[in-house]
Structure 1
Amino acid sequence: MVQNGIHHVTAIAGPARRNFQFYTEVLGLRFVKRTVNFDDPGTYHFYFGDAAGSPGTILTFFPWEHVAPGRLGVGETQETVFRVPEGSIGYWTHRFVEKGVVHQAPEKRFGETVLAFKDPDGMRLALVGVAGIEAEPAWGGSDVPAENAIRGFHSVSLLIKDAAPTGAILTDVLGFGEVGREGTLIRYKAGDTAIGGIVDLRVAGDFLPARMGGGSVHHVAFRAADDAAQEAMVKKLAENHGIQTTEQKDRNYFRSVYFREPGHVLFEIATDVPGFAVDEPLASLGQDLKLPSFLERRRAEIEAVLPDLG
């Protein structure tokens, strides 16, 4: 069965070592892939996710050592939200206190308990307690007990001026449907997709525009099963909405096209195939620096300038 939903979220970070340590040691995510920004190979591209690097679990970063902070505004992803078992919110609240993580008191949204927090670069994140997911597989390679571990994405929330044009793309092209409203939030869900299946639109009117920087989400990627499914989405964007995408780009682990949706958020459509085990065994994901073939001849030069992760 074809699954729609979020494929991955890509954000901008500050120092690479700090970013690596927060997501592996504090949040307990698996370090799925260590590669570089194909357009700026002196910069890492990190991928964090579940044990297999499954679509709907992957948070990726471009870490620049001296990046200026971003500014939240219209046309940006406001918050990236992970799923955890419903009974583990207390565990995570204590863990954030213990680790010095900036966080808010738990609150209710759409009937679920939400614990909002920030990473060291000020990226806006949250955990949502979801009932009945305790038996889902969890990455066991950190000190976070499996019963409390993150189980992929819950949702993203987008801060936009007007919901209707963005909602039209979500429903007509990306396989989502509106399922509820609460305050300024409009919730869209991708059928029965459990992991990464929700997008919330937060209507902000004439708020300041976003400014990219440290802590900002660069883009949100949505799933296409394969090239044919991606091509169908591209065709629908052009014919029904007058939106052109980029040409397809090979990212080694998926193939991508990009476009600005009407609310100015950068969207990507990424194929589920071939996946992260295409160039290293599943058991050793993330251990070695992986370079695309066109950069392999520059390996020594690239390794010499990349920051040490400790």
Structure 2
Amino acid sequence: MENTILGIHHITAIAGDAQRNFNFYSKILGLRFIKKTVNFDDPGTYHFYFGDEIGSAGTILTFFPWGEGIQQGRKGSGMATEIGYSVPVGSLDFWIKRFEQYNVIYNKPAEKFGEKYVTFLDPDGLKLELIESKTADTRKAWETDEIKADVALKGFHNITLTLNNIKPTAAILTDIFGYTLVEQEVNRFRYATFAVETAAIVDLVELESEKRGHVANGSVHHVAFRVNNDKSLMHFRKSINEKGYNITPQIDRQYFHSLYFREPGGVLFEIATDNPGFTVDETLENLGKDLKLPPQHESKRKEIEAILVKIN
């Protein structure tokens, strides 16, 4: 599997209030809170990570909760506009009842590509979907007292990008990342990698006259694709450079190593490694319990803790 994109690694979005974001994803959706750290480039703000028990690639949704009063994002072209989660077949009734219980905005069930799904919004307006995948998803979901394995979120099913013209972005997916066009419904084109069985799908929606979107509160900041190690990471850096795209040097994100570039349609892409993982600075049992800082910010812990709001 060397020098292969292994589907989605993580997705990062922007939120407002940190406590509200924590409550929604860990309590209402039942994801495990696996890491409480800071934005490495802006250590006065949190960076939250939610996923399965160990923070497996393909389950990791992260947030920059920038606080109340930040500008609201605007959905449009050049953006990742929908995050799809895989859930067990037959679980949507449970989720609809739960959304009603907690006043979550949602749409009635619909179907695309032969899969039943429900669309809903998080408290900041981020659009998500729960999808009953037509292919078996054997990933072990994180369970809570209220959300058991027969209904729990398994991890990502797909990410949707909205674009004025899909061709340049599709070329990145097929020519560099090794994806294949597998299905089409009207203006939605489904690309998948066969290197992995889950978190393997990217949907491209083409809207020629759609206005440019604006990334801010309630929107996806970037989409990260997975590779298994640093050697593979640098292989893709070379390939992307050779195609004429600007790409960053390797960046150490403490839990993975990353490259960033903006694909032709305008979406910020990241490529991230499996190594070293989320237990590099705390045990599996204690994931998400304490504020973890990267070495470059540890000397300023007191100042950083004084700025950050307390999360319960």
Report the TM-score range of the alignment, normalised by the length of the smaller protein.
over 0.9
* C-alpha contact (below 8 Å) 2:7/2:58 kept by paired residues: yes
Deviation at 1:182, TM superposition (A): 0.5
CA distance in 1, matches of 2:143, 2:120: 23
Match of 1:154 among 157, 176, 201: 157
- Which residue pairs with 1:246 in the alignment? 248
Does residue 196 of the first structure (1) align with residue 193 of the second (2)?
no
Match of 1:113 among 97, 112, 116: 116
* C-alpha contact (below 8 Å) 1:28/1:142 kept by paired residues: no
Using the aligned pairs only, state the percent identity.
49
RMSD: 1.3
Match of 1:284 among 261, 273, 286: 286
**What letter is aligned with 1:282?**
L
- Which residue pairs with 1:64 in the alignment? 66
CA distance in 2, matches of 1:107, 1:115: 6
**What letter is aligned with 2:155?**
G
Moved more, 39-48 or 185-194: 185-194
Does residue 166 of the first structure (1) align with residue 162 of the second (2)?
no
CA distance in 2, matches of 1:26, 1:33: 18
SS at 1:186 equivalent: strand
Match of 2:275 among 257, 273, 276: 273
CA distance in 2, matches of 1:132, 1:189: 13
Match of 2:29 among 16, 27, 30: 27
List per-residue Cα deviations over 1:29-82 (Å, max 9, x = no partner): 000100000111110000000111000000000001121110001100010110
Q: Identify the structure with the greater helix proportion.
A: 1
Deviation at 1:154, TM superposition (A): 0.2
TM-score, normalised with respect to structure 1: 0.97
Does residue 86 of the first structure (1) align with residue 89 of the second (2)?
yes
Moved more, 188-197 or 148-157: 188-197
List per-residue Cα deviations over 1:255-284 (Å, max 9, x = no partner): 111001010100001111111111111111
Match of 1:183 among 175, 181, 186: 186
TM-score, normalised with respect to structure 2: 0.96
Match of 2:222 among 190, 199, 219: 219
CA distance in 1, matches of 2:288, 2:26: 11
* C-alpha contact (below 8 Å) 1:29/1:142 kept by paired residues: no
SS at 1:202 equivalent: strand
CA distance in 2, matches of 1:135, 1:5: 16
SS at 2:11 equivalent: strand
Mark the runs of 5 or more structure 1 residues left unpaired by the alignment: none
Deviation at 1:132, TM superposition (A): 6.3
* C-alpha contact (below 8 Å) 2:50/2:60 kept by paired residues: yes
When residues 274 and 121 of structure 1 are mapped into structure 2, their CA distance, relative to the original with a 3 A threshold, is: same
**What letter is aligned with 1:152?**
G
**What letter is aligned with 1:77?**
A
**What letter is aligned with 1:44?**
Y
CA distance in 2, matches of 1:102, 1:277: 35
Deviation at 1:194, TM superposition (A): 2.5
SS at 1:303 equivalent: helix
Match of 1:261 among 245, 252, 263: 263
**What letter is aligned with 1:76?**
M
- Which residue pairs with 1:54 in the alignment? 56
* C-alpha contact (below 8 Å) 1:81/1:156 kept by paired residues: yes
CA distance in 2, matches of 1:108, 1:209: 27
* C-alpha contact (below 8 Å) 2:85/2:156 kept by paired residues: yes
CA distance in 2, matches of 1:201, 1:217: 15
**What letter is aligned with 1:40?**
D
CA distance in 2, matches of 1:92, 1:20: 19
Deviation at 1:130, TM superposition (A): 2.1
Deviation at 1:192, TM superposition (A): 4.7
